[in-house]
Structure 1
Amino acid sequence: MTTVNAYRAAILHCLADPADAAAGQAHEYFEDGLLVIEDGRVARVGPAAELLPGLGDVPVTEYPDALIVPGFIDTHIHYPQTGMIASYGEQLLDWLNTYTFPTEQRFGDPAHARQVAEFFLAELLRNGTTTALVFGSVHKASVDAFFEAAQTLDLRMIAGKVLMDRNAPEGLTDTPESGYADSKALIERWHGKGRLHYAVTPRFAPTSTPEQLALAGQLFHEYPGLYMHTHLSENLKEIEWVKALFPERTGYLDVYDHYRLIGPRSVFAHGVHVCDEECARLGETGSAVAFCPTSNLFLGSGLFDLAKLERHGVRVGLGTDVGAGTSFSQLQTLNEAYKVMQLQGEKLDPFKSLYLATLGGARALYLDDRIGNFASGKDADFVVLDYRATPLLGYRLDQAKDLAERLFALMMLGDDRAVKETFAAGRSVHRRA
């Protein structure tokens, strides 16, 4: 039996990258819009006055003083680090040893992994994020727990077991063979099940031997549609360490390239210190980079050069990078992204910001045929943003002269409180109390 529902509010979604489209052609906006959902997919979107007469007895949910946008897409986040978010005072390598590794050791306990996975997903949905590319821990049970929780909510999620066979505590290391075998078992259990996808996940080059990276590259090409998710050139000391560990390679990206871990659906987090040659290689191979402003500022890693990457055609998405990142909120992440660009003498337009958090993220993940905007037939993942979420936000929006100003104010002043309701595959999965 077909289920049809409709939702009425202001509606905004991206049609293309504002950098590539003619003025006004990159987005579509309906001041009084209607979004019609049929069996968990978008059926129609448009002006309410045009669509309402043809609805018949379809139920319509109205949201006054609200904006409906596509569900946010997080292209880099660590669910085992939820409990250590906002840990004080280290740069990347010391931060890993002081906070990350001790926290992740607890995920060998399936009960602990389930509890954190459920909390993590609830927090994502509370912030309007409906799809994420997620690090598990080295433990197979951590990924089982995550996918079980995501499947219950029918979310489109991507995750993988971390691969680490050196330069980490004994309780967090696997071997090339066990990492391959565990990952393969998880792929066969979860990849393509419902809306779930698997990512081969070497943590970063320093924590995997050449043998493990070789097997990871082999695995990446063994199954259609797999992702590869790792870190790249986040911190200058990290880059020097990679040079010492792989002296035969010409650079950090060349390590991954050598082991066949680069190409479509390869997502490299951070990329703060990539050179033009590396950008060109990322662009020509169809790889993507996750822009993680809150963690790059928090750990003092540097400023992400969005303009340079885009000049080389690199696909870029937005990542919160919890727990080095300081918020699950994509609105707050865009707040910090704007400041990162300002520090480099660049502007981040509010429509470009929305693109990065929605359709741009979907494109980075090669999912723009399924999510990212309200094109007919796409998954009905969407968020209702409350213009009156806080007194200050409401007051500021009363002064706004146009849509761009309202959108920018939402990104500067909004956070989880601005998310009134979140839908995944047409079903409400979070409603603010």
Structure 2
Amino acid sequence: MSSVIATTAVRGRFLDIQNTVAQAREIHDQVRYVEDGLLLSENGIIQWFGPWDEGQRLIPEQVQVQHYPDQLIVPGFIDTHIHFPQTEMIGAYGEQLLEWLNTYTFPTEMQFSDPAYAQKIAAFFVQELLKNGTTTALVFCTVHPQSVDALFAAAEQHQMRLIAGKVMMDRHAPDALCDTADGAYSDSKALIEKWHGKGRNLYAITPRFAPTSTPEQLARAGELKAEYPDVYVHTHLSENKNEIAWVKELYPEQNGYLDVYRHYGLTGSRSVFAHCVHLEEHEWDCMHQTDSAIAFCPTSNLFLGSGLFPLKKTWDKQVKVGLGTDIGAGTSFNQLQTIQEAYKVQQLQGCKLSAFEALYHATLGGAKALDLADKLGNFNLGKEADFVVLDLQPTALQQLRQSRAKGLEDSVFALMMMGDDRNIHATYIYGQRAYLKTATA
């Protein structure tokens, strides 16, 4: 793909959150809505953003304006936890976490030893992200290095910013999916050298979770992180009570689940822990002190019966958090549907999730969780031009509901509570339209 990209000019209604915040109540002050706006990007970077009347004179003569008068344009959705090899086993029946892994996940992941198979699913996976308005994702691959190659190659076709890594797993899994401590280190090191920082690709050191790694393997993961401090760490934490008890049996010398990762040097500002449904108080404090982040995965937590994530606690404890779909335990690639379940999870705990807070978590808050808020999450100048054009009324029911909306916030809330992939009109990656809904989509 050519590195020279023409200027892109997009006109329409724009909505974003201007700055990261310390408390949910501050988000409302940072909401920016431009009724008739213009975004100009060049070489994938936002060069100008503001009202159409002020910006139209800046459009180069040869550039055709892409106008979306009836839609709403928001920053691209950021998925902070998803498994690309589990795409085909979404909606697998009847188990909780540990049984689910053995019954469905491990047999599915064995297929990715075949590079051609990995490439086929990677291409499908990236297309599903685009179709659902997700422009950046933090992704689990499998234990096979070729699964990482396949995913990054598919993302490169669109100049998409993905973070991904090879699973490290040397025990408590089928032999066909196990590596070794030294093998996982050398494979991961080679993949970091090959992919990290190439284009928009970023690498994540990816131990599946503490029970499937020996102490030796986690130590080697920590060595990698020390050698490459700007790469990510991506793993699971405190998803299920049986899992937590198992970790305490396997690592009795550590003070709980998170302390296992901390002990091996795997916490930090680019460390993202999926789920964290059952953290203890001292673990919340450790998350804050180490500047680690959480991926909140409501559809997965409900589907596997894992529990209700206390989102309010992230504000109380000042812990970074983003939304994750967690395909395939999660039941949708779509962040609007993820928000719907996040709202219900909070309701069950007597808390509320506003439309603008939800937008924050799906965009700028997710960027902050991934240590990318300087590059992604809103329409500030100098950021990467990833955004989504939303159709607010693709169905008769949504059209009726939107006709009764009491202002912008109510309109966005209705979109989030009723929306799905039908609401994604177009997805832009690095200033270029990478997906456009057709009449038959």
3-state SS of 2:325 partner: coil
Corresponding residue for 2:430? 425
Corresponding residue for 1:55? 59
Paired-residue identity, %: 59
Return the alpha-carbon distance in structure 1 between the equivalents of residues 68 and 357 of structure 2. Answer: 25
Return the alpha-carbon distance in structure 2 between the equivalents of residues 2 and 415 of structure 1. Answer: 31
Question: Aligned ranges for residues 310-389 of structure 1 at < 5 Å?
Answer: 310-389=315-394
Return the alpha-carbon distance in structure 1 between the equivalents of residues 305 and 5 of structure 2. Answer: 52
Question: Are the equivalent residues in 2 in contact too, given 1:70–1:373 (CA < 8 A)?
Answer: yes
3-state SS of 1:406 partner: helix
66, 70, 75: which one aligns with 2:75: 70
Letter in 1 for 2:85: P
Letter in 2 for 1:91: Q
Shift of 1:2: 7.1
TM-score, L = length of structure 2: 0.96
Letter in 1 for 2:277: V
Return the alpha-carbon distance in structure 2 between the equivalents of residues 2 and 174 of structure 1. Answer: 41
Return the alpha-carbon distance in structure 1 between the equivalents of residues 416 and 341 of structure 2. Answer: 9
Aligned pair 1:119/2:124, yes or no?
A: yes
Question: Are the equivalent residues in 1 in contact too, given 2:322–2:369 (CA < 8 A)?
Answer: yes
> Mind listing any 5+ residue stretches in structure 2 that lack a counterpart?
none
> Mind listing any 5+ residue stretches in structure 1 that lack a counterpart?
none
Shift of 1:306: 1.1
Corresponding residue for 2:12? 9
Corresponding residue for 1:273? 278
3-state SS of 1:25 partner: helix
Shift of 1:346: 0.5
Aligned pair 1:282/2:310, yes or no?
A: no
Return the alpha-carbon distance in structure 2 between the equivalents of residues 128 and 17 of structure 1. Answer: 21
3-state SS of 1:49 partner: helix
Shift of 1:17: 4.3
Return the alpha-carbon distance in structure 1 between the equivalents of residues 92 and 35 of structure 2. Answer: 42
Return the alpha-carbon distance in structure 1 between the equivalents of residues 140 and 5 of structure 2. Answer: 36
Question: Aligned ranges for residues 15-54 of structure 1 at < 5 Å?
Answer: 15-17=18-20, 19=23, 22=26, 24-54=28-58
Return the alpha-carbon distance in structure 1 between the equivalents of residues 140 and 161 of structure 2. Answer: 15
Letter in 2 for 1:8: R
Aligned pair 1:205/2:214, yes or no?
A: no
Return the alpha-carbon distance in structure 2 between the equivalents of residues 220 and 22 of structure 1. Answer: 34
Question: Aligned ranges for residues 21-170 of structure 1 at < 5 Å?
Answer: 22=26, 24-55=28-59, 57=61, 58-170=63-175
Shift of 1:54: 3.8
Letter in 2 for 1:33: G
Cα–Cα, structure 1 residues 108 and 403, in superposed 2: closer, same or farther, change >3 Å? same
Aligned pair 1:308/2:313, yes or no?
A: yes
Shift of 1:22: 4.4
Return the alpha-carbon distance in structure 2 between the equivalents of residues 211 and 23 of structure 1. Answer: 43
3-state SS of 2:394 partner: coil
Shift of 1:8: 1.3
Letter in 2 for 1:43: Q
Question: Are the equivalent residues in 2 in contact too, given 1:233–1:270 (CA < 8 A)?
Answer: yes
Return the alpha-carbon distance in structure 2 between the equivalents of residues 310 and 275 of structure 1. Answer: 16
Letter in 1 for 2:429: A
Return the alpha-carbon distance in structure 1 between the equivalents of residues 269 and 83 of structure 2. Answer: 21
Query: Which shifted more, 46-55 or 174-183?
Result: 46-55
3-state SS of 1:33 partner: strand
Return the alpha-carbon distance in structure 1 between the equivalents of residues 125 and 5 of structure 2. Answer: 32
Number of equivalences: 433
Query: Which shifted more, 396-405 or 48-57?
Result: 48-57
3-state SS of 1:64 partner: strand
Q: CA RMSD in A?
A: 1.2
Cα–Cα, structure 1 residues 337 and 429, in superposed 2: closer, same or farther, change >3 Å? same
Question: Are the equivalent residues in 2 in contact too, given 1:153–1:429 (CA < 8 A)?
Answer: yes
Per-residue CA deviations over 1:279-332 (Å, capped at 9, x if unaligned) read 110011110000000000000000001111221111001000000000000000
Shift of 1:249: 1.1
Q: Which runs of 4+ in 1 moved over 6 A?
A: none
3-state SS of 1:80 partner: helix
Shift of 1:248: 1.1
Per-residue CA deviations over 1:145-164 (Å, capped at 9, x if unaligned) read 11111112101000000000
Letter in 1 for 2:418: L
